[in-house]
Amino acid sequence: MANVRNREIDVSSEVARRKLDSLAKLDAAASALVLSLGDQRQKYDAGVQILGDRSSSCRPQIILQGWAVHARPLADGRNQIIRFLLPGDAICLDGAEDGRPLPSITTLTPTITGDARALRAALESGDSAHASLTAACARSAWLDEAALLDQIVRLGRLTALERMAHLLLELYSRLNRVGLTHGRRFSLPITQEVLADALGLSIVHVNRTLQQLRRDRLIEMRAGYVELLQVDTLKLISSYHEILPHQDGPVEQQLGETRWPPRRAS
């Protein structure tokens, strides 16, 4: 763990490389390009809107550290989280020409992003030298879209308990792909209000739903961490199934983790 902090710069962009490499084996040039994402970083505080509204800059970025959300607020205060943006996820990777409405993206934790203009240029060049990169990014886009479809099913046809289990499994799967899990444990640096906005539930009901999952010994949750105690049961009750398998089996070696906010020990 000690040396992780020393090599933090490498580790951060390594997240993006892991994700893409798990989707399509990257060649050396592609790996180098992806790792260079960390060269030009941007830091954001927690709770900051980094895209949408007035800020028109749609520079492509990759999240290297921290959590963010794409959300849609309603006029009367209701808020729906469309999807979570985790380390390795892209923002505006496909260009936003003309009058395309920009998504409203807000950080949930302090966040670091890498500049993905070089990556976008490589993808748009159509150069066959970037074949592996193109394939990986195409698959990454599939994953993003499939997650949207999962979100629709979750909100439309699952009960509160099922929704929660389903979302936790999705987050686990996505974090596992970028090496941010420890066994069945992962950092969940979000409040119950955020979970409520993602799942279309009230805060109170999220609280009670989590209690039920803990009471049934399906998960354990404390200090901003979750552990999935019975993955199979969780998958069963939530009709969850993996979108795309890893190329080389589950990633287990851990990287640095998003540690925020400070949470009391239950």
Residue 189 CB, shortest distance to DNA, in Å, is 10
Is residue 142 involved in binding a second copy (CB under 8 A)?
yes
CB 12 within 8 A of CB 63: no
Choose between 117 and 208: whose C-beta lies nearer to DNA.
208
Q: Inter-axis angle of helices 28-35 and 8-23, to 10 degrees?
A: 130
Residue 145 burial (CB count, 10 A): 11
Choose between 32 and 223: whose C-beta lies nearer to DNA.
223
Piece in contact with a second copy (CB under 8 A), picked from 151-159, 166-174, 212-220, 248-256? 151-159
- Residue 251 amino acid letter: V
Report the site for a second copy in 53-72 (rule: CB under 8 A): 72
Is residue 249 involved in binding a second copy (CB under 8 A)?
no
Tell me which of 207, 217, 242, 247 binds DNA, using CB under 7 A.
Answer: 207
- With vertex at residue 70, the alpha carbon angle to CA 121 and CA 133, rounded to the nearest 5 degrees, is 25
Q: Which helix (H) or strand (E) holds 79?
A: strand 79-85
The residue written with tokens 């934790």 in the block is 109
Copy the structure tokens of residue 149: 């479809």
Tell me which of 146, 160, 203, 221 binds a second copy, using CB under 8 A.
Answer: 146
Which residues, in sequence order, are CB contacts of 142 under 8 Å at separation 6+? 243, 244
Binding interface with a second copy (CB under 8 A): 72, 74-75, 78-82, 97-101, 103, 126, 138-139, 142, 145-146, 148-149, 151-153, 155-157, 199-200, 239, 243-244
The site for DNA (CB under 7 A) is made up of 159-161, 191-193, 200-205, 207-208, 210-211, 262-266
